[in-house]
Homo-oligomer: A and B are copies of this chain.
Amino acid sequence: MNQKAKIVLIGAGNVATHLGLAYKSAGYEIIQVWSKTIESARRLAKQLGVVPLTDIGKLSKDADVYVIAVKDDAVSLIVKKLALKEKLIIHTSGTVPMLLLKTASKNYGVIYPLQTFSKNRKIDFSTVPLCVEANDKNTEKRVVALARAISKNVYVISSEKRKALHLAAVFACNFSNHMYAVAEKIIKKQKLPFALLIPLIEETAAKIKTGSPVKMQTGPAIRGDKVVIKEHLRMLAGDTKAKKIYELISESIKT
């Protein structure tokens, strides 16, 4: 197709917002934004210059591509309500199998952006790894082209591998962020600024570009510094959860 595909965006959360803005920047026409709540639909529709929608029965039939970017457990509920025949339907979830889309159209695929999105942070979408999959070779070409229009990091990856990637991302992103949160709690108790930890956090993340994280491991657990570990556990005595996390991760680092 020489002409750029017309897109309907189903969802208005963080992923939908960043994806919608990326396609708008790439010159694609987004013709509709659906969301369960009118506030979210309006907020994103305004940014994209289109009409918001909350009645899924009134989805436009004029689009070429229907992108579902909602919470994982909401994808199947939405798919059940769609009958798009031969239109291309895409979901953006890490965990939902591609085959779930089968009942909604003959042509279906996945574009899973391996990134963490927040509403108020700009992302350079061109660097976001996009994991794509499609029901056949012809659809795959279309999905890859759509993905390449907004990112230079496009990988064809099966549902099974995508699911493993999503699990890895939970550790690398969600859980490391929680480690920052526990650190913040400890620091705030001492009335010290969290900003003190920023150079350390940045360097820890930057290091992995030069070598495997296993080789980059530092700290009392990998050194086997029992005196420090014992003292840290004593200091955490008042916070059962943080103490358990300290014990379990130290144990896991050692082995």
Contact = CB atoms under 8 A, between A and B. Distances in A.
Interface stretch (A28-36, A53-61, A99-107, A176-184): A176-184
Interface string A157-192: 100110111111111111111111111101101101
Interface of A: 14, 71-73, 95, 114-118, 120-121, 123, 127-129, 153, 155, 157, 160-161, 163-184, 186-187, 189-190, 192, 194, 196-210, 212-214, 216-223, 225-228, 231-232, 235-236, 241-242, 244-246, 248-249, 251-253, 255
Contacts of A118: 207, 216, 218
Contacts of A192: 157, 161, 164-165
**Chain A contact residues: helix, strand, loop or mixed:** helix
B213 A187 contact: no
Q: Please state the number of chain copies in the assembly.
A: 2
A241 B252 contact: yes
Contacts of A218: 14, 116-118, 173-174, 177
B164 A217 contact: no
A202 B206 contact: yes
A197 B164 contact: no
14 contacts: A115-B203, A123-B203, A164-B192, A167-B236, A171-B182, A174-B221, A175-B176, A176-B180, A176-B201, A177-B216, A181-B214, A241-B248, A241-B255, A242-B252
